[in-house]
Structure 1
């Protein structure tokens, strides 16, 4: 027999008053199919009281935002759920009222569980024979979200979401406990931040952006009512969903407005006016990741993401670290300087279009911190389809930062810096003289028409021929000076200097060559001429190490980072630096590097030899402050570089075809011009700083006379040279000479010349065959020309007295 409705209500209320609400009524209200069979009042109340009351609130997934160094310009967002928490004070009052009216109109009266609502739902569900009303309060709904996000495994997640009486009991128990711990405003704030409102709007901030492109503080009455209506069924009422159209959203908005009138939040007139208002949707796409962020900063963003995933501070694995970024709600202020970035991009865009098969770009690094200030390139960071099956202009390959997939580009003569550093570390000074022929046959394995199976590079210009110092050879980029210098210090030492400065070898061929050079003195002779592939970020970092007086700082994309609780993570945002090159060595290297750019040595060393010229003299004419740098080109102009630096900024610019390394570049001047102008712009707001002058020891060394050893045995010559204070190296290549086979044919530096004490003297041994006479050039005795140059540099030598 069916009881009248008022009698049913009375019976249910009696149960509530008897304390069996949790065990029977709630289950029946929410799940009529369960009914009361098998549930006694005692067992229900026992199971309810046995439930824990303490609810641990887990962190809720939030957007992590990557900003430029100004703290304002957004680079990209990272998220699993598009959510950003806001304070209740930053949510429009009508929005707070609308969600209470839509979901829980007795929110400010109950203590977590609404008995009247449960009774209403019970009666309605029993009458219909199905669940049509669930009677969950805002507090209970909030608890449900907490349990879902706090689930550590599939079982716990199922318990948090399954339609069972047990789940309902847990929600009620926790809701009652939660209301004792948090105020109503705290619960409402948390609910608005955790609830899903459809259209990728997790939380009220994302929802107000997703539907109206505005912050929640600016929501109007009709806008707030529409969003509040989403809470019950985000799919059914979503007006952006074309399948549903706007009718469902308008009907639901009208319901919410009517509820707001009943609760006296708004007048009938205000509600009627709101009902007539159009939806006024202005949806804002909620896209995350670098390829969907600010296109001007895409390659920096891509490098930042790789840096994050490689950093153990953010998790045990790359997957876990990325997951933490997508959920952590970090506010990341990066090192990227918008002014420098835009200036560099402007210079790049001016010189090469995005549709070119060649890539040209600039990376800027701050010496002493490693913070990366700019990453500009004529490519677009993205996954859009390229025309005609090309690999450009859209790509996500790390063309500026490097990887095993994209290891970089041959850096040419910029690598001479590392041979020079290795020499300076062995106390070979900047004034160290070597005669640089037009072509030099080295000890290294290779192939050469004139040198057989030996590596025998030549200079880019005949004007470089002659007696060169380290400074002048660097200023002119004389290959045939740096190959014999490399022989004196070893490839192994030069490679070590490069790595200490910040170069990373990623290409398999370079890794193999590096390994070979550890034990084989004839391996990888082309190293000093830059045949290794390297990224622009590495080169900017390496030259920044020189600029910072030998202090290497790991490349850093951060200025600061704050987690969702407002805690500053200072350790990961601080520079990681160490002294890898002695200060005095770096000072001397920086002084040498002033020669190519048109600046002058601080200790008066000549930056070119007679008849020579600097490779990038335009740099100092543009940048009106102490500046240094080095150009670099590869064989057949397959790549071109310029790396410039001041004490407070280093920049590396390049041009190459990333897909075809043997493609001749459009213009080797582009990196010089673009980097020079970009640096000039970047430096405008930085203080003028000077370099530190090199010591006399590393500039000039302690000069002593090289003993005459021609005709001596190798052992005897070695003994004489060591007694005079020199290190000795014996060339593996023998040459024609008037001396007997196995005797010393000559030394470099020559016997009787002045050289640096502690420096290297190379002995070349005779093969016993008489030399072929050289043809005079322009009617002059070639020997006289060499002697004239030696004597010009060393007038006190005995050979120069006649």
Structure 2
């Protein structure tokens, strides 16, 4: 009998039976036909194709798993990855005629109709092929509880559809392929979908290594995963397992002696089971890195939903040894449960074509238990709102060098209380006493605030902001609200001279990448956490990425590395921390502290690695932090970038770089050591804009203009940066002129009433 004839006969017989038992006599068969068609519309192509959701595995840089992502705990395996014992056990107990007969069992359908129609117990399909179709509809095609219920409802329409699809499968696939698909889709309890997940969950093994008693236990669970749960019902599970073993013996799959030994064996299942933790919470200390990877892939076009069902393998750049050293360092400086004090560290590897992210850690654990200091907020990646302090002086220095300055140039250091003309009302204070002038290199090491605000008068504020973005602070360009301005736009519009003091929200990862840009001879690349991604078939998946670019000239970056090389030396702001750690590597470094010590930062780079630590109050109501062992929240803070943040960095990096050679910093370039030609700046305030512009250009400068409302005649220069007269600037430097509109803003309206 052909498949079409057999299916037609079953359909007609079933229709006749149901017409007299469960359906009105008139129109019954037509309704059955409609049910069958309706049920087949969505899932038939899928079940024929065999696509199934499977877990995504996220690994470290060596390929060792660090996290699993899934909607269903299922690992798809090939036929040769499933033990013969498993195949024999499932065939013995579920469909002993599987290899010799059709995928359709007419008797089971008629039996199901009679039982279901008369109110008897629900009867399932008897062939493994039909069971595969049913399991696929329930666990793969169905996306909601309602769809799952529909996929298992006891209707003749559904059973006829299962029979039709089973016949199609039986004539298009080998028996072994159908059996493999079935073993990949079937639910085996305790969130284990398929034989691979079940082998791991119950026995911590792989499906190719299942023994006779293990395979028999799993095969026995198919009938009722809950009733034969080996953890909750071990006696029932053992009894059912032994039934399967006896069926295997009767069918000649195993000898009587093998059957006796298998039936005498213990179940071998012990709690807790070996299930896979789902998501980044299960990644432990690597949770922050895992979270960053998922966000990175989402932005690249692979959504979390795709990851949870697509069976990808995501190999990351995370180095396990570096992560361990970094985590030990942050926890040693600030215990995980220390109230109000978070310690973060990001480590990035420099490179000309990529900046791999090596480690991302925080003293807080990644998780949901706030009482244990846990959080799922990505502390090492997201910009923290308190700022990174004087680390931003790096950008002012780079802008100064770009304009023709040099690291050996002497710059003025105004005393505390200096009022910069850049931002009216902005008064700058120093934390300590400094000489009236320093070389730029010494100023970077000692970090007087007034010197760098004064330097901004030479460079202009907008170029410093642009330099920060080019070197790695890309989050500054993101709108602070939908359709609103970015931080960079606001700083430029308001001419905020405080920018060089690091008041903008700052990401530890972005700050570490700034160091990597310098150590990469001025080449910026986006921080990259991905080595490779492959799909469920093992084929590579292309991940789009922003191209690298030359942020600053290579010789400038190399020279600025030396310009920042005194921070760990006597007199430098991190010298004590470096000495305590036994640090002996040439390093470009910069500390930073916010005005009230609510946060402190440290960024440093060697030719091999760059890292940044930011310590800050992570509560909803930040307070100053007092330095100590450990740091504490207090009323008058004294946290500095040179203590806890620098101590975190030096402790971690001493271990991370321990086996690598001590390398010198790159060679300097004379152009950026002594700087370019320094010229007197003409004083043009009060002059017509055309005349002022011409005079400055003739003197060797570039000119930009803007305007403000003022009583001065329209087109008259009312502001100039850098100031003219006795001031000097580098040849080719930009001079900013502000002209009057000749208008005076209208006074505010008088209050009503």
TM tier relative to shorter chain: 0.7 to 0.9
CA contact 1:400–1:408 (8 Å) conserved in 2: no
What is the match of residue 655 of structure 2?
A: 681
Mapped to 2, the partners of 1:614 and 1:228 lie a distance apart of: 70
Equivalent residue runs for 1:1-80 within 5 Å? 20-25=8-13, 33-34=21-22, 56-72=48-64, 74-80=65-71
Q: 2:250 aligns with which of 253, 262, 268?
A: 262
> Is 1:396 aligned to 2:376, yes or no?
yes
CA contact 1:402–1:408 (8 Å) conserved in 2: no
* CA shift for structure 1 position 36: 11
* CA shift for structure 1 position 200: 0.5
Mapped to 1, the partners of 2:722 and 2:299 lie a distance apart of: 50
Equivalent residue runs for 1:522-537 within 5 Å? 524-537=496-509
Mapped to 2, the partners of 1:746 and 1:359 lie a distance apart of: 40
CA contact 1:616–1:672 (8 Å) conserved in 2: yes
> Is 1:642 aligned to 2:630, yes or no?
no
What is the match of residue 237 of structure 2?
A: 249
What is the match of residue 294 of structure 2?
A: 305
What is the match of residue 742 of structure 2?
A: none
Give the stretch that moved more between structures: 427-436 or 494-503: 427-436
CA contact 1:729–1:761 (8 Å) conserved in 2: yes
Q: 1:663 aligns with which of 624, 629, 638?
A: 624
Equivalent residue runs for 1:697-776 within 5 Å? 697-704=671-678, 706=680, 723-726=698-701, 751=726, 756-759=730-733
- CA shift in 2, pair 1:25/1:224, >3 Å: farther
- CA shift in 2, pair 1:46/1:398, >3 Å: closer
* CA shift for structure 1 position 396: 1.3
Calculate the TM-score normalised by the size of structure 2. Answer: 0.81
What is the match of residue 768 of structure 1?
A: none
CA contact 2:459–2:733 (8 Å) conserved in 1: no
Mapped to 1, the partners of 2:719 and 2:128 lie a distance apart of: 95
What is the match of residue 542 of structure 1?
A: 514
CA contact 1:30–1:135 (8 Å) conserved in 2: no
Three-state SS of the structure 1 residue aligned to 2:610 is strand
What is the match of residue 277 of structure 1?
A: 265
Mapped to 2, the partners of 1:558 and 1:212 lie a distance apart of: 32
> Is 1:192 aligned to 2:194, yes or no?
no
CA contact 2:460–2:722 (8 Å) conserved in 1: no
Give the stretch that moved more between structures: 214-223 or 126-135: 126-135
What is the match of residue 478 of structure 1?
A: 448
> Is 1:345 aligned to 2:312, yes or no?
no
What is the match of residue 774 of structure 1?
A: none
- CA shift in 2, pair 1:542/1:124, >3 Å: same
Mapped to 1, the partners of 2:441 and 2:31 lie a distance apart of: 92
What is the match of residue 413 of structure 1?
A: 390
* 5+ residue gaps, structure 1: 1-12, 315-320, 387-391, 447-452, 599-611, 733-741, 764-802
- CA shift in 2, pair 1:507/1:384, >3 Å: farther
CA contact 2:458–2:729 (8 Å) conserved in 1: no
CA deviations 1:128-184 (Å, max 9, x no partner) are: 873554343111111233445346899987764443222222222222221222222
* CA shift for structure 1 position 99: 1.0
- CA shift in 2, pair 1:437/1:203, >3 Å: same
Aligned-residue CA RMSD in angstroms? 4.3
Three-state SS of the structure 1 residue aligned to 2:527 is coil
Which structure has the bigger radius of gyration? 1
Q: 2:211 aligns with which of 214, 217, 220?
A: 220
CA deviations 1:756-778 (Å, max 9, x no partner) are: 43347899xxxxxxxxxxxxxxx
CA contact 1:721–1:728 (8 Å) conserved in 2: yes
* CA shift for structure 1 position 338: 0.4
CA deviations 1:264-318 (Å, max 9, x no partner) are: 112334334433433332242535444531312121122223333333x22xxxx
Mapped to 2, the partners of 1:62 and 1:442 lie a distance apart of: 63
What is the match of residue 780 of structure 1?
A: none
CA deviations 1:571-596 (Å, max 9, x no partner) are: 34x67423333434433332322232
* CA shift for structure 1 position 423: 2.3
> Is 1:429 aligned to 2:406, yes or no?
yes
- CA shift in 2, pair 1:625/1:267, >3 Å: same
* CA shift for structure 1 position 726: 4.7
* CA shift for structure 1 position 507: 9.8
Q: 2:560 aligns with which of 565, 577, 589?
A: 589
- CA shift in 2, pair 1:262/1:518, >3 Å: same
CA contact 1:25–1:122 (8 Å) conserved in 2: no
Mapped to 2, the partners of 1:547 and 1:698 lie a distance apart of: 16
Mapped to 2, the partners of 1:118 and 1:26 lie a distance apart of: 8
Three-state SS of the structure 1 residue aligned to 2:657 is helix
* 5+ residue gaps, structure 2: 629-639, 708-716, 738-753
